[in-house]
């Protein structure tokens, strides 16, 4: 069964540092997403990406965040200057309409 | 803003019993709902979905009920097994072309052997 692959599974970074979270979506999917989940809380939408551009973003997705699909395969989330409150699980997902598949997530810890 | 929420944060059942997990939503424009299961250290896993033009949908050991009058969604798991222990989320989409999902807070289901 096709999978969404995320790397790394766990990243520890110092406050103020840049991090890049990587995802390989399912190859024939057209929509790509990043969601995050702060420990013990609900999963929150960050951004959706379609046709090589952001189609929607939440209030959380401020100027510190950016996404890219650099090579037609990978889908990345960059946080330019991490804050303590960015510590969370970050889930990548891809879909072909309503058929969503989530990755296993990257646990980001900002210290 | 409008949001999806859950009545019970935790639910503990005996193996073999039926489980019912509830979800309330407040956006009357929501037209599609999904239940996800999340095991520790994993991403959300699709269980079952339902569209707003339906009241009930059944899958293998699971049933989703939608009551649009009171904006309530439930997930019923028959003959609950230890492997069903996880956090269960409801999610909704209230229109738009991006298939964006809004998640509820989650219910932790614990199945006791």
Considering only the beta carbons, identify the residue of B32, B97, B105 that sits closest to A42.
Answer: B105
pLDDT on residue B21: 96
Nearest alpha-carbon partner for A84 in A21, A18, A36, A15: A15
Q: List the structure tokens of B69.
A: 């009058």
Residue A103 forms contact with B (CB below 8 Å): yes
Q: What residues are paired with B85 via a beta bridge?
A: none
Dump pLDDT digits (tens) for B72-95: 999 999 999 999 999 999 999 876
pLDDT at B95: 66
Task: Quickly tell me which residue has 């989703």 as its tokens.
Answer: B64
Q: Does A39 touch chain B (CB under 8 A)?
A: no
Nearest alpha-carbon partner for B100 in A77, A98, A59: A98
What was the pLDDT predicted at B96?
Answer: 67
User: What's the order of all strands across the beta sheet hosting B62-67?
Assistant: B4-5, B19-25, B72-77, B62-67, B56-58
CA distance B82 to B80: 7
Write down the pLDDT at residue B4: 55
Task: Tell whether A32 is within 8 A of chain B (Cβ).
Answer: no
- What's the pLDDT at B110? 96
pLDDT of residue B29: 86
Which pLDDT belongs to residue B7? 46
Cβ partners under 8 Å of residue B91, min gap 6: A43, B4, B33, B34, B35, B36, B44, B101, B102, B103, B104
Q: Which stretches of chain B drop beneath a pLDDT of 50?
A: 1-3, 6-8
Q: Do B103 and A95 touch (CB under 8 A)?
A: no
Q: What span, in angstroms and rounded, lies between the C-alpha atoms of B36 and A20?
A: 27
| Gap between the Cα atoms of B84 and B39, Å rounded | 9
Give chain B positions within 8 Å (CB) of A55.
97-98
Minimum Cα–Cα distance from B34: chain A residue: A98
pLDDT averaged per 10 residues, chain A (length 111) = 93 98 94 93 93 93 95 93 97 88 96 97
Whether A24 and chain B come into contact, CB under 8 Å, resolves to no
């Amino acid at each position: 069964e096709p999978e969404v692959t995320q790397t790394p599974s766990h990243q520890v970074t110092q406050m103020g540092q840049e991090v890049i979270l990587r995802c390989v979506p399912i190859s024939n999917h057209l929509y790509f997403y990043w969601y995050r989940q702060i420990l013990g809380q609900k999963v929150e939408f960050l951004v959706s990406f379609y046709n090589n551009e952001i189609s929607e973003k939440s209030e959380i997705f401020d100027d510190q965040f950016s996404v890219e699909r650099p090579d037609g395969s990978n889908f990345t989330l960059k946080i330019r200057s991490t804050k303590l409150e960015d510590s969370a699980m970050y889930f990548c997902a891809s879909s072909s309409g309503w058929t969503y598949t989530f990755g296993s997530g990257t646990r980001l810890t900002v210290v | 803003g409008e949001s999806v929420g859950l009545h019970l944060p935790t639910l503990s059942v005996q193996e073999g019993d039926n489980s019912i997990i509830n979800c309330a939503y407040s956006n009357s424009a929501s037209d599609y709902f999904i239940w996800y299961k999340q095991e520790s250290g994993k991403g959300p896993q699709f269980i079952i979905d339902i569209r707003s033009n339906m009241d009930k949908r059944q899958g293998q050991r699971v049933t989703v009920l939608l009551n649009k009058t009171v904006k309530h969604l439930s997930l019923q798991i028959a003959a609950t097994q230890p492997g069903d222990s996880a956090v269960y989320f409801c999610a909704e989409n209230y229109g738009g072309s991006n298939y964006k999902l809004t998640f509820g807070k989650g219910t932790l289901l614990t199945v006791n052997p």
